[in-house]
Amino acid sequence: MYKFMKGSTHELASMEIAIKAIPDDPRVWVPQAPDVYFRPMFLNTLTGQWCNLLKVTRSGILSRHVHPAPVFGMVMKGKWHYFEHDWVAEEGSFVFEPPGEIHTLNVPEDCDEMITFFNISGCMVYLDKEDRQIGYEDVFTKIDMCRAHYDNVGLGADYVDQFIR
Protein backbone atom coordinates (compact mmCIF):
# COMPACT_ATOMS: atom_id res chain seq x y z
CA MET A 1 0.00 0.00 0.00
CA TYR A 2 1.35 3.40 -0.93
CA LYS A 3 1.24 6.42 1.32
CA PHE A 4 -0.54 9.31 -0.37
CA MET A 5 -0.74 12.77 1.16
CA LYS A 6 -4.10 14.12 2.26
CA GLY A 7 -5.11 17.66 1.47
CA SER A 8 -3.25 20.42 -0.29
CA THR A 9 0.23 20.82 -1.66
CA HIS A 10 0.80 23.13 1.33
CA GLU A 11 0.65 20.03 3.56
CA LEU A 12 3.24 18.37 1.34
CA ALA A 13 5.53 21.41 1.45
CA SER A 14 5.33 21.61 5.24
CA MET A 15 6.49 18.01 5.73
CA GLU A 16 10.20 18.23 6.36
CA ILE A 17 12.80 15.57 5.85
CA ALA A 18 16.42 15.71 6.97
CA ILE A 19 18.63 12.67 6.49
CA LYS A 20 22.31 11.92 6.22
CA ALA A 21 22.96 11.66 2.49
CA ILE A 22 25.54 8.88 2.58
CA PRO A 23 24.30 6.41 5.19
CA ASP A 24 26.48 4.70 7.78
CA ASP A 25 24.47 1.50 7.36
CA PRO A 26 25.27 -0.14 3.98
CA ARG A 27 21.87 -1.89 4.02
CA VAL A 28 20.23 1.44 3.11
CA TRP A 29 21.68 1.11 -0.43
CA VAL A 30 19.14 -0.73 -2.59
CA PRO A 31 20.60 -2.99 -5.30
CA GLN A 32 19.33 -2.05 -8.74
CA ALA A 33 21.65 -4.09 -10.97
CA PRO A 34 25.02 -5.82 -10.46
CA ASP A 35 27.30 -3.28 -8.72
CA VAL A 36 24.62 -0.55 -9.07
CA TYR A 37 22.74 0.76 -6.03
CA PHE A 38 20.44 3.62 -5.12
CA ARG A 39 19.79 5.31 -1.83
CA PRO A 40 16.29 6.85 -1.66
CA MET A 41 16.10 10.34 -0.23
CA PHE A 42 12.68 11.59 -1.29
CA LEU A 43 9.84 9.66 -2.95
CA ASN A 44 6.93 11.90 -3.95
CA THR A 45 3.88 9.80 -4.83
CA LEU A 46 1.83 12.91 -5.68
CA THR A 47 4.01 14.24 -8.47
CA GLY A 48 5.99 11.13 -9.39
CA GLN A 49 9.25 12.74 -8.36
CA TRP A 50 12.10 10.96 -6.65
CA CYS A 51 15.48 12.04 -5.39
CA ASN A 52 18.17 9.49 -4.78
CA LEU A 53 21.85 8.83 -4.75
CA LEU A 54 23.04 6.48 -7.46
CA LYS A 55 26.16 4.49 -6.55
CA VAL A 56 28.06 2.46 -9.14
CA THR A 57 31.04 0.31 -8.12
CA ARG A 58 32.13 -0.85 -11.56
CA SER A 59 33.08 0.70 -14.85
CA GLY A 60 31.17 0.32 -18.07
CA ILE A 61 27.74 1.03 -19.50
CA LEU A 62 25.06 1.44 -16.89
CA SER A 63 22.00 2.00 -19.08
CA ARG A 64 20.60 3.56 -22.21
CA HIS A 65 17.49 5.51 -21.30
CA VAL A 66 15.24 8.52 -21.78
CA HIS A 67 13.19 10.70 -19.43
CA PRO A 68 9.95 12.50 -20.36
CA ALA A 69 10.75 15.26 -17.84
CA PRO A 70 13.94 17.15 -16.95
CA VAL A 71 16.49 15.51 -14.66
CA PHE A 72 18.94 17.33 -12.41
CA GLY A 73 22.07 15.79 -10.93
CA MET A 74 25.13 16.58 -8.83
CA VAL A 75 28.17 14.32 -8.88
CA MET A 76 29.35 13.69 -5.33
CA LYS A 77 32.13 11.18 -6.04
CA GLY A 78 33.85 9.81 -9.11
CA LYS A 79 32.84 10.59 -12.68
CA TRP A 80 30.71 9.43 -15.58
CA HIS A 81 29.64 10.54 -19.04
CA TYR A 82 27.12 9.97 -21.78
CA PHE A 83 28.34 8.52 -25.06
CA GLU A 84 26.08 11.04 -26.83
CA HIS A 85 28.01 14.05 -25.42
CA ASP A 86 31.63 15.15 -25.20
CA TRP A 87 31.53 16.27 -21.54
CA VAL A 88 32.44 14.29 -18.41
CA ALA A 89 30.50 14.78 -15.19
CA GLU A 90 33.11 14.81 -12.44
CA GLU A 91 32.91 15.33 -8.68
CA GLY A 92 31.15 18.65 -8.06
CA SER A 93 29.59 18.79 -11.54
CA PHE A 94 25.95 19.83 -11.96
CA VAL A 95 24.10 17.96 -14.70
CA PHE A 96 20.88 18.89 -16.49
CA GLU A 97 19.25 16.31 -18.73
CA PRO A 98 16.57 17.74 -21.02
CA PRO A 99 13.36 15.77 -21.45
CA GLY A 100 13.19 13.42 -24.41
CA GLU A 101 16.94 13.03 -24.91
CA ILE A 102 18.20 9.47 -25.21
CA HIS A 103 21.52 8.93 -23.47
CA THR A 104 23.83 6.08 -22.48
CA LEU A 105 25.43 6.43 -19.06
CA ASN A 106 28.97 5.09 -18.82
CA VAL A 107 31.41 4.97 -15.91
CA PRO A 108 34.99 5.13 -17.25
CA GLU A 109 37.62 2.45 -16.57
CA ASP A 110 39.62 4.70 -14.23
CA CYS A 111 36.67 5.19 -11.84
CA ASP A 112 36.07 2.51 -9.21
CA GLU A 113 33.10 4.21 -7.53
CA MET A 114 30.67 6.88 -8.67
CA ILE A 115 27.98 8.51 -6.53
CA THR A 116 25.58 11.06 -8.04
CA PHE A 117 22.53 12.77 -6.57
CA PHE A 118 19.61 12.72 -9.04
CA ASN A 119 16.28 14.56 -8.93
CA ILE A 120 13.93 12.81 -11.36
CA SER A 121 10.28 13.44 -12.20
CA GLY A 122 8.02 11.09 -14.10
CA CYS A 123 9.79 7.96 -15.15
CA MET A 124 12.94 6.57 -16.60
CA VAL A 125 12.45 4.45 -19.73
CA TYR A 126 15.19 1.94 -20.55
CA LEU A 127 15.88 1.38 -24.25
CA ASP A 128 17.72 -1.13 -26.40
CA LYS A 129 19.98 -0.14 -29.30
CA GLU A 130 16.94 0.12 -31.61
CA ASP A 131 15.16 2.54 -29.21
CA ARG A 132 12.65 -0.10 -28.11
CA GLN A 133 11.50 0.03 -24.51
CA ILE A 134 12.97 -2.80 -22.42
CA GLY A 135 11.98 -1.53 -18.97
CA TYR A 136 11.06 1.46 -16.89
CA GLU A 137 11.24 2.89 -13.39
CA ASP A 138 9.04 5.37 -11.61
CA VAL A 139 8.50 6.40 -8.00
CA PHE A 140 6.26 3.37 -7.40
CA THR A 141 8.71 0.81 -8.79
CA LYS A 142 11.40 2.48 -6.67
CA ILE A 143 9.22 2.11 -3.58
CA ASP A 144 8.58 -1.55 -4.39
CA MET A 145 12.32 -2.20 -4.81
CA CYS A 146 13.01 -0.50 -1.49
CA ARG A 147 10.31 -2.44 0.38
CA ALA A 148 11.58 -5.80 -0.89
CA HIS A 149 15.23 -4.98 -0.18
CA TYR A 150 14.67 -3.48 3.28
CA ASP A 151 12.52 -6.42 4.29
CA ASN A 152 15.19 -8.84 3.01
CA VAL A 153 18.08 -7.16 4.91
CA GLY A 154 16.23 -6.85 8.22
CA LEU A 155 15.36 -3.15 8.22
CA GLY A 156 11.68 -3.94 7.61
CA ALA A 157 9.59 -3.19 4.53
CA ASP A 158 8.26 -0.02 6.19
CA TYR A 159 11.78 1.47 6.44
CA VAL A 160 11.12 3.17 3.09
CA ASP A 161 8.08 5.01 4.52
CA GLN A 162 10.32 7.73 5.99
CA PHE A 163 11.20 8.85 2.45
CA ILE A 164 7.66 8.81 1.02
CA ARG A 165 5.76 12.07 0.79
Domain assignment present for residue 14? The answer is: no
Domain assignment present for residue 50? The answer is: yes
pTM: 0.87
Q: pLDDT tens for residues 150-163?
A: 999 999 999 999 99
- The number of domains in the chain is 1
Residue-wise DSSP of the chain: ------S-HHHHHH------SS-SSGGGSEEEETTEEEEEEEEETTTTEEEEEEEE-S-EEEEEEE-SS-EEEEEEESEEEETTSS-EEETT-EEEE-TT--EEEEE-TT-S-EEEEEEEESEEEEE-TTS-EEEEEEHHHHHHHHHHHHHHTTS-GGGGGGGB-
Domain assignment present for residue 4? The answer is: no
pLDDT at 95: 96
Residue 49's domain is classified under what CATH number? 2.60.120.10
Q: pLDDT tens for residues 21-50?
A: 889 999 999 999 999 999 999 999 999 999
Choose between 9 and 16: higher pLDDT.
16
pLDDT at 79 over 70: yes
Q: Where residue 6 falls among pLDDT bands split at 50, 70, 90? A: very low
Domain assignment present for residue 6? The answer is: no
Domain assignment present for residue 3? The answer is: no
Domain assignment present for residue 5? The answer is: no
Domain assignment present for residue 16? The answer is: no
User: Rounded mean pLDDT of 128-141?
Assistant: 96
**What domain range includes position 45?**
26-163
